[in-house]
Amino acid sequence: MLLARADLPREIAEKSRRADIVTDADRASEALIVDRLLALTPNAAILAEESGAHNGSSDERWVIDPLDGTTNYAHGYPLYCVSIAYERAGIVEIGVVHAPAMGETFLALRGAGARRNGAAISVSQIERIGDAMLCTGFHPADYVANARCFAAASESAQAVRRDGSAALDLAYTAMGRFDGFWEFGLAPWDVAAGALLVAEAGGSVSRVDGGAHRLDGRSILADNRRLHQDLSALLRKASA
């Protein structure tokens, strides 16, 4: 559906602050996804970016970002995706990240590994930050708050990218395109599926300070496990 609408005129509105936008495609995608998931699991709760939380009567919950990378999509830039995670009793059991413009679908099942278009994937083998390509993200208004981490990583790594889609960045970390990813201020729908992808692909997922990651936490550091201790120390020092 997102691909079919990509070249159509778009309705774009700002949400809570400048450059935080929503389009008609976000809303249409979310409505379609929610309808189909509730048809499969009518008693499940829903947590979706545009419509918020909807209570259910079971211990199941779907966590949905119907269009992660909205600004990219609005400008015809192909790095955007749909992110869907399935929770049971508070534990994410399934994560899916679908990037329609790239022709890629990533799937993780807890305890069963991670796949891209059906083929098994794993994190990279890079062992030094100096050899790593990292990725991060932040809202334009938060540049100053993130500048020290960005600068420290840029000085230490081979490259740092800022692609504008946290879920896709996590999927790319899971398959080894990126060696590590960090970001502050994310919501559960940004990371629920991608964090499981990284973990099932053999990577590490924590808070930036190295503590245990939670979906309702405010930071994430995901990497190939080999870099985790050094990358966490670098970012902690930069953000102190």
Rounded CA separation 79/170 (Å): 12
pLDDT in tens, 123-182: 999 999 999 999 999 877 777 778 999 999 999 999 999 999 999 999 999 999 999 999
Do 175 and 119 contact (CB within 8 A), yes or no? no
| CATH for 129-239 (1.10.10.10, 3.40.1010.10, 3.50.50.60, 3.40.190.80) | 3.40.190.80
Query: How would DSSP label each residue in 55-105?
Result: --SSSEEEEEEEEE-HHHHHTT-S--EEEEEEEETTEEEEEEEEEGGGTEE
Separation of CA 50 from chain center: 16
Q: How many CB atoms lie within 10 A of CB 144?
A: 8
Residues sharing a CB contact under 8 Å with residue 210, sequence separation 6 or more, in sequence order: 221, 229, 232, 236
Q: Please tell me the class of the 2-120 domain.
A: alpha beta
Rounded CA separation 228/132 (Å): 12
pLDDT in tens, 172-229: 999 999 999 999 989 999 999 999 999 999 999 999 999 999 998 889 999 999 999 9
pLDDT band with cut points at 50, 70 and 90 for residue 2: low
Q: In the 8-state DSSP scheme, what is residue 213? A: P
Q: Domain ranges in the chain?
A: 2-120, 129-239
Q: Residue 67 pLDDT more than 60?
A: yes
pLDDT band with cut points at 50, 70 and 90 for residue 78: very high
Q: Residue 47 pLDDT more than 60?
A: yes
| Percent of the chain surpassing pLDDT 90 | 77
Do 154 and 134 contact (CB within 8 A), yes or no? no
